[in-house]
């Protein structure tokens, strides 16, 4: 599974480098509110997705961990954006094969990846797929993971938009844990628009 994710990431990066660009996202800064869900990921891996659907437990779980993150985005090509995030939350981190700790501690997560967009930023609503790599720090434990997900970019104007996304974060090292990451954020361009760029459709 990890080899497949890395292969997809490499293919997307190579494609973006050689793509012919007609419109690229300007440098953008965002602020995001998110919740992480370790329990739902654990239940799906233990009982299967069909079991949760039968029990009507497929909605957001009860053990959600809220947090805040900042993000930076910039277009690589018309349909590919680079995305980096840094976020923090207080959680009881469920290490693999270990009991869940009683106390909560600060979890710091940083990711870098790409949003592969079906449409260009000239449209009001843009669906995208997200692929990346991430690192986390929880107390004295460092770990790596791979976020895979999807989302929507909704334009508020030519210079600002809302991002809604959901990721499934897959461990790459032993110190990481499977979890879902649901985010909503507001982002705005921080550079001036080029005269050649067209308005939103």
Mean residue pLDDT across the chain: 84
Domain-located, residue 55:
yes
Q: What pLDDT, in 10s, does the model give residues 171-182?
A: 999 889 999 999
Domain-located, residue 77:
yes
pTM: 0.80
Does the pLDDT at position 194 exceed 70? no
Instruction: Give the count of beta carbons closer than 10 Å to the beta carbon of residue 4.
Output: 8
Domain-located, residue 195:
no
Domain-located, residue 164:
no
Domain count along the chain: 1
More confident residue, 148 or 157: 148
Domain-located, residue 181:
no
Boundaries of domain holding 56: 2-16+24-151
Alpha carbon distance 191, 193 (integer Å) = 7
Q: What pLDDT, in 10s, does the model give residues 105-123?
A: 999 999 999 999 999 998 9
Alpha carbon distance 68, 24 (integer Å) = 27
Task: Report angle CA 99, 103, 104 to the nearest 5 degrees.
Answer: 105
With CA atoms as reference, report the closest residue to 5 among 91, 138, 164, 133. Answer: 133
Greatest Cα pair distance, the chain, in angstroms, is 58
Domain-located, residue 201:
no
Domain-located, residue 170:
no
Does the pLDDT at position 147 exceed 90? yes
Domain-located, residue 166:
no
């Amino acid at each position: 599974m990890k080899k497949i994710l890395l292969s997809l990431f490499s293919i997307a990066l190579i494609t973006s480098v050689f793509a012919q660009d007609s419109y690229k996202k300007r440098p953008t800064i965002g602020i995001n509110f998110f919740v992480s869900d370790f329990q739902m990921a654990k239940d799906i891996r233990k009982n299967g997705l069909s079991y949760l659907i039968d029990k009507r437990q497929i909605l957001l779980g009860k053990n959600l961990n809220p947090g805040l993150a900042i993000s930076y985005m910039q277009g690589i090509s018309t349909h590919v954006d680079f995305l980096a995030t840094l976020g923090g939350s207080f959680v009881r981190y469920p290490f693999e094969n270990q009991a869940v700790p009683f106390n909560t501690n600060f979890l710091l997560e940083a990711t870098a990846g790409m949003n592969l967009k079906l449409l260009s930023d000239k449209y009001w609503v843009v669906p995208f797929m997200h692929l990346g790599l991430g690192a986390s720090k929880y107390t004295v434990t460092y770990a790596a993971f791979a976020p895979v997900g999807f989302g929507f970019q909704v334009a508020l104007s030519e210079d600002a938009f809302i991002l809604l996304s959901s990721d499934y974060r897959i461990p790459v090292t032993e110190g990481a844990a499977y979890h879902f990451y649901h985010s909503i954020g507001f982002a705005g361009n921080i550079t001036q628009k080029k005269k050649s760029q067209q308005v939103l459709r």
